[in-house]
Amino acid sequence: MLRTPKIVLGCVLALGALGLSGAAAQETQPNVRMARDLVAAASAFETYTRKASAIDPAFSGPRAVASAVEIAAAHEPRQIERGMIAYAAMSALQDPAFVAGVQRIVAEPGEREALVRRLSESPEAAIELPGADQASARARAALLRRVEPLLTDGRRVKQAAYDIQHAAWSKAMVADAPQRLALVKTLSSRAFEPGEGDADRLFDAVSAHVEARPAGAPSPVVVRGLALAALTIAGAAGDESLETLTPVVSDARSASCMRMAKLNLFQCMAVAGPHYEDVFCISQHAMLEAGQCLAAAAGAEADAGPLRTAGLAIPIAGGRTGER
């Protein structure tokens, strides 16, 4: 009987290795392995969207603004690009029909190697896999569940850039503006390293129930997520396969969009003077523009609103898979 277990971490890593330390996997749960760097990227995506969408627009003073700037800027575009695809893959791995369909294929003599080769060369072929429609809808919904709160809060924070101007402190010039800009650039180039609790938060988020919405053809990011999920089931997405997975976990359009949003943030922060302008910069470029990039990558531009074998063991839906 097929079942959809909660995703948990199947092994515990030392902080020095990745910083991930999650709950032990249940003995009865099937699992597959995904490269640590990809799981870390998925955690980066989850952490950025969670923390940035929780920025409180009720700024009380310069310290609150400075804290918000650090939270909003703390994401590296390349890692977020890969993280979206890995997050979509983890969500697809919770769809029983998709998992069962891919398992049937890889169980046939010679089919595993053929599937790995085909998906590695043409990730778009994943849409032809059994159960792909339902799995892609789930992945899309899971991505949008992370992105939509970011857009909603971004609008609130942008409004706050105007609302706080009645307070004298907001119109005072930022005393350490050059250092603030340097910090933003540093945070923007630093890859996220998961710490205690991040694994549990990631797997709780990706395994949460989502309502799939009617949609057209899945976006390239969602399709690549399906391809990565299928490769993971086939035992071809572990640490040793990371280099060959590059075409699967890359999407040029979303990468370009996220990089442009970062450049716009840098330019905005470079000319910002008073504190309320810092608030505007992060709301417009680190939250709204970045959020629109992510929403478009998930395949829901209209939903974004009118504003411009070593690896981690991941339990999946279905019967027990063999170790590879």
* pLDDT tens for each residue of 220-250: 999 999 999 999 999 999 999 999 999 999 9
Residue 152 lies in a domain: yes
Given a contact cutoff of 8 angstroms between Cβ atoms, the answer to whether 283 and 207 are in contact is no
| pLDDT tens track for 244-302 | 999 999 999 999 999 999 999 999 999 999 999 999 999 999 999 999 999 999 997 54
Task: Give percent of the chain with pLDDT exceeding 70.
Answer: 82
With 0-12 / 13-18 / 19 or more C-beta atoms within 10 angstroms meaning exposed / middle / buried, residue 183 is middle
Residue 241 lies in a domain: yes
Which amino acid, 263? Answer: L
What is the pTM assigned to this prediction? 0.86
According to the model, what pLDDT value does residue 196 have?
84
Asked if pLDDT for residue 321 goes beyond 50, the answer is: no
Tokens matching residue 280 = 């505007």
Given a contact cutoff of 8 angstroms between Cβ atoms, the answer to whether 181 and 69 are in contact is no
How many other C-beta atoms can be found within 10 angstroms of the C-beta atom of residue 320?
11
Residue 104 lies in a domain: yes
Residue 140 lies in a domain: yes
Tokens matching residue 23 = 């709950």
Residue 5 lies in a domain: no
For 94-126, the DSSP string reads T-HHHHHHHHHHHHSTTHHHHHHHHHHH-GGGG
Residue 9 lies in a domain: no
Asked if pLDDT for residue 22 goes beyond 50, the answer is: no
The tally of domains found in the chain comes to 1
Domain extent at residue 292? 31-315
Residue 6 lies in a domain: no
Q: Does an H or E element contain 31, and which?
A: strand 31-34
Residue 26 lies in a domain: no
| pLDDT tens track for 49-93 | 999 999 999 999 999 999 999 999 999 999 999 999 999 999 999
Secondary structure letter of residue 173 according to DSSP: B
245's torsion region: left (phi>0), alpha (psi -120 to 50) or beta? alpha
